[in-house]
Structure 1
């Protein structure tokens, strides 16, 4: 590992919150009840009703002398207007941006902070894959257009999330990814607990320097005995993940992929990922494309082990992005995640090898084009 690894912590409480109307009111309530500290780290932050509501709550918190710190990505927050930024700073909020775009930085502009987390009074964490945009939550009607999950965490694990934020907050001054000192944490992945409840750990990626988040996933897939259910909106997995999924299906594990259907914000990425379908289907992997809305959640369930957070486990994310996931071993959370997957599978279109081979010609053409573009880009950066 290029960086230190977080250990497993016990005696935590987890609650799965599905979609913006469930988790944004909880986040706002936590902000309103904060006494001392509020920290936010988000990638996508755009002006709109959702951002207006969050900014209003942060203003009030700062004016009652709560220390409020916001770390937003320099690219993902381009639509976060100067007026909203001014309101935060005038209220006393400390505002920083990760890697602001600059033509002088060239390819370094590709490095982004993709993490999503809220920390309150060092006692509560809300982590997952949401952004602060109207797609995730419309406050007026309490509705959402994008399907997403967050997890509310209480217990000793919150301190590790706090450490992850603190390190990046300080490192952001020099616009560099966090390189934790060796005296912190572990040097290798800890064993997954065989039993217990309230177990959790922080898994993270730091822009190709540290990737325990994907090493942990591959290890879990390789050791799976019953089921592997994985949801991601952008299906461009690394070779090691694809190979592990195929091998698991070949040995009889129930492997299911919950992927985005035609409703997506990046059709080109969806078509590029289609090139992986045939080999996976032939290996026995089941593929479901979610139909009602854009599926944006990133969630994995493997024999009771869960991983939920910001990471899509694609080669682009793992090369350029700061990512963070909650890994948990908790029966109550496992039950909630299982129920969420079952509900989503029921609203998805199953893809069989026969139907895939008979898809329209235009779909095949777009797969070829965008698959070729993706390979070209990946090979280019691989050589660099």
Structure 2
């Protein structure tokens, strides 16, 4: 008699958390819209595949084998190239399957979407700016040596980040953690009022409403005091939040404003790449970052998805230089039509600051325009090195096979692995995808919690 192991998920409500766990028993086994041009191209690919199949069946029966063999050879060559590429299996296999089953449609869609990591000119602009900016960051070999001596595992990850993203590790930096976004906003407003030289703000989403108006009032006052103010936002992220004349409004009051990758249906092959950063830099001395954007719902001024949970941090000291570089990179590289900064030195400088905290800080940025998945590799490294616990908080749990394997293996090693996700979704389709990962994780001992009061947008990771 053959016995199979079956997994059953149990859901338990404990306070504001919905906990997912697994019980074992023996028994029987049982949105994003595309541009017009892309949409048309995709439809054409599908129609060509249908026409090809119909033609083979109705008119070209005697040549069917030859034609089919020819298309399979072409698709096979592409599949071999794709298989040999430096991508994860979760990125390659869907394309391989699609191309092998529907060669014409698969090849067409892959050439349109799969290869779109950024245009050649876009890559050149970023490379040019990075070649000027990144060398201006301080040499941190001494600091890197100290963390390797005191915390070898963290030092190993810090070395990887510095080698692959070129962002150094710092000490001499004080950090304040905000467990609610509104606390971060209040602290941000106070620091903005003290700005003397420049203010840089880069956000995925800005809403021309109450929260932003509080910030704008301070920015206008600082502009009148002679402070240089720049605001940078993602066009797709801010759709529905601001009108198309927002840039003109900001420029009219002295706030320099740029847009990342404007949404232009049918014209923009870089459409899927978005700026998801949330950064404020004040005089190169104080920086803010975290999960929250500058829209009312993030601060619970409005409640479209129940209570909104978000977090942030304030940095003061040497590490703010990396946030400054991150902003300047995007500001200068986003468009060839904009005038670039002729001199970065006035924004990147050393000043005397004596931090009270002695910990290590390493802000860094990642890009889709290279073959190194720095962010994912850092998380996997944290999971693999964890001995006691590894906790994650994320609004969208859509992970690769490599990440899934690392989480499950850590749990099987006895590490306390927990993941917090939203209880109320902001996008139901993504929420369903998130939940589809629960079973594969919890059956190996990963504990998944849903924050039931509303939408949890925080992005936090910690391990030991």
Using the size of structure 2 for normalisation, the TM-score is: 0.57
1:218-257 map, 5 Å: 218-257=380-419
Deviations, residues 293-339 of structure 1 (Å, cap 9, x unaligned): 21000000111xxxxxxxxxxxxxxxxxxxxxxxxxxxxxxxxxxxx
Q: Does the 8 A contact of 1:71 with 1:169 survive in 2?
A: yes
- Aligned with residue 135 of structure 1, among 297, 320, 340: 297
3-state SS of paired residue (2:242)? coil
Deviations, residues 250-307 of structure 1 (Å, cap 9, x unaligned): 000000011111x12111111112221112111100111101121000000111xxxx
**2:262 maps to what in 1?**
100
Q: Give every structure 1 segment of 4 or more consecutive aligned residues whose post-TM-superposition deviation is greater than 3 Å.
A: 1-4, 82-87, 104-107
> How far apart, CA to CA, are the structure 2 residues paired with 1:21 and 1:130?
9
3-state SS of paired residue (1:46)? coil
> How far apart, CA to CA, are the structure 1 residues paired with 2:364 and 2:382?
13
* Change over 3 Å in CA distance of 1:41–1:175 after alignment to 2: farther
The answer to whether structure 1 residue 30 and structure 2 residue 191 are counterparts is yes
**1:161 maps to what in 2?**
323
116-125 vs 49-58, which moves further: 49-58
The answer to whether structure 1 residue 269 and structure 2 residue 392 are counterparts is no
* Change over 3 Å in CA distance of 1:112–1:64 after alignment to 2: same
The answer to whether structure 1 residue 70 and structure 2 residue 231 are counterparts is yes
12-21 vs 288-297, which moves further: 12-21
> Based on CA coordinates, which of the two structures has the bigger radius of gyration?
2
- Aligned with residue 11 of structure 1, among 150, 158, 172: 172
The answer to whether structure 1 residue 212 and structure 2 residue 374 are counterparts is yes
1:1-384 map, 5 Å: 4-78=165-239, 79-82=241-244, 84-137=246-299, 145-174=307-336, 197-209=358-370, 210-261=372-423, 263-303=424-464
* Change over 3 Å in CA distance of 1:105–1:94 after alignment to 2: same
Q: Does the 8 A contact of 1:203 with 1:213 survive in 2?
A: no
> How far apart, CA to CA, are the structure 2 residues paired with 1:48 and 1:138?
13
For the aligned residue pairs, the C-alpha RMSD in angstroms reads 2.3
Q: Does the 8 A contact of 1:74 with 1:99 survive in 2?
A: yes
3-state SS of paired residue (2:361)? strand
* Change over 3 Å in CA distance of 1:107–1:243 after alignment to 2: farther
Could you tell me how far 1:87 is from its partner in structure 2? Answer: 3.4
3-state SS of paired residue (2:417)? strand
Give unmatched runs, 5+ long, in structure 1: 177-195, 304-384
> How far apart, CA to CA, are the structure 2 residues paired with 1:19 and 1:298?
12
Could you tell me how far 1:41 is from its partner in structure 2? Answer: 0.4
More strand per residue: 1 or 2? 1
* Change over 3 Å in CA distance of 1:217–1:203 after alignment to 2: farther
Give unmatched runs, 5+ long, in structure 2: 1-159, 339-356
Deviations, residues 129-183 of structure 1 (Å, cap 9, x unaligned): 111111012569xxx941100100011111111111111111012399xxxxxxx
> How far apart, CA to CA, are the structure 2 residues paired with 1:139 and 1:86?
26
Could you tell me how far 1:107 is from its partner in structure 2? Answer: 4.7
Could you tell me how far 1:3 is from its partner in structure 2? Answer: 5.6
283-292 vs 71-80, which moves further: 71-80
Q: Does the 8 A contact of 1:15 with 1:152 survive in 2?
A: yes
Q: Does the 8 A contact of 1:74 with 1:100 survive in 2?
A: yes
Paired residues, what number?
Answer: 281
> How far apart, CA to CA, are the structure 2 residues paired with 1:208 and 1:86?
30
106-115 vs 263-272, which moves further: 106-115
